[in-house]
Structure 1
């Protein structure tokens, strides 16, 4: 998010119950992602204790932390969109008149939805293949891979839902394009 005072702090719902529910879901995703990061930190601390204090080997720690961090990244996507936390380069939107800004925002959101939709589609097939084939990792821990892979379709699906809500809010005038007030 840019440092300008023009950007909004979070997605607006304008009293719309569907937008409010989608925002609530995105906020829950943020909490879950934060808890996954905290769990990763605690697991790393335990791994350090086991390796360097108890002088024992660890089996699942590194792989578990990797899966948790990837999961936190994917599950955190809708929350970051909700709070407008993605990096913005808003020089062009600031310079454009309101109508052109709205058109540009619509194009950007539509293209973003298309890319996220493609990622959702491929993430779902990746997860389903691991589920269907019963894939496991080639490590001593050997977890079922469908569990961490589930973060891909789930994260991208919820991100697409938040993007669609933002597009609807902008299209209906509930929210401003790029969070910028009219000039």
Structure 2
């Protein structure tokens, strides 16, 4: 957001932005811990000649969690892949309508993913599913990242939709591209 729109943005949009930033920090921490665990695993196998039990599975779950929990932060930064050729050719009003339509469609799609992610998490919780490895982690723990990540992503999308609709956002087509923060 530009300084003017950032200052004028409603508190709810700013709060959601802070939550999304926190998600980015958590995602980065998960990646960092994954790297440390991978190094520890390599040391155990290569240097000490020992086998590992939980490391590979933990790293996989952490990377998936980092990806899903990082979604709202990437959305906040407008870092998801997008095509700007068509919007760039449209007049301001049509660009805004297109942005609102795309955000709305994305919210519906993420809502479906959230629903099925919650269902998967809930089944794992209710039936006490465990992984079929030696570690035997309760699967509701890593599965929780799916509905949580998509819920927070949807929250950021709703904030973006509201910000675009009310003119409090960089994605507002009335803001010149050179005035946008990249």
**TM-score, normalised with respect to structure 2:** 0.91
CA drift at 1:16: 1.0
Cα deviation 1:116-154 (Å, max 9, x = unaligned): 000000000000000000000000000000000000000
Cα deviation 1:84-112 (Å, max 9, x = unaligned): 11112101111100111011111100110
Q: Distance in 1 between matches of 2:133 and 2:7?
A: 46
Q: Contact 1:30/1:76 (CA < 8 Å) preserved in 2?
A: yes
Which residue of structure 1 lines up, in the alignment, with residue 180 of structure 2?
Answer: none
CA drift at 1:26: 0.3
Q: Distance in 2 between matches of 1:126 and 1:112?
A: 21
Q: Distance in 1 between matches of 2:9 and 2:127?
A: 45
Name the Cα RMSD after superposition: 2.0
Q: Distance in 1 between matches of 2:174 and 2:62?
A: 35
Cα deviation 1:15-60 (Å, max 9, x = unaligned): 3111111000000000000000000000000000000000010001
Which residue of structure 1 lines up, in the alignment, with residue 59 of structure 2?
Answer: 65
- Is structure 2 residue 33 aligned with structure 1 residue 33? no
Give the counterpart of 2:146 among 143, 152, 158. Answer: 152
Q: Which runs of 5+ in 1 are unaligned?
A: 1-7
Give the counterpart of 2:70 among 61, 72, 76. Answer: 76
* 181 and 148 in structure 1: CA distance in 2 versus 1, 3 angstrom threshold: same
CA drift at 1:14: 2.8
Q: Contact 1:136/1:144 (CA < 8 Å) preserved in 2?
A: yes
Which residue of structure 2 lines up, in the alignment, with residue 117 of structure 1?
Answer: 111
Which residue of structure 1 lines up, in the alignment, with residue 94 of structure 2?
Answer: 100
Q: Distance in 1 between matches of 2:7 and 2:139?
A: 37
Which residue of structure 2 lines up, in the alignment, with residue 136 of structure 1?
Answer: 130
Q: Which runs of 5+ in 2 are unaligned?
A: 178-182
Q: Contact 2:96/2:173 (CA < 8 Å) preserved in 1?
A: no
Q: Distance in 1 between matches of 2:6 and 2:144?
A: 29
Cα deviation 1:66-95 (Å, max 9, x = unaligned): 000000000000000011111121011111
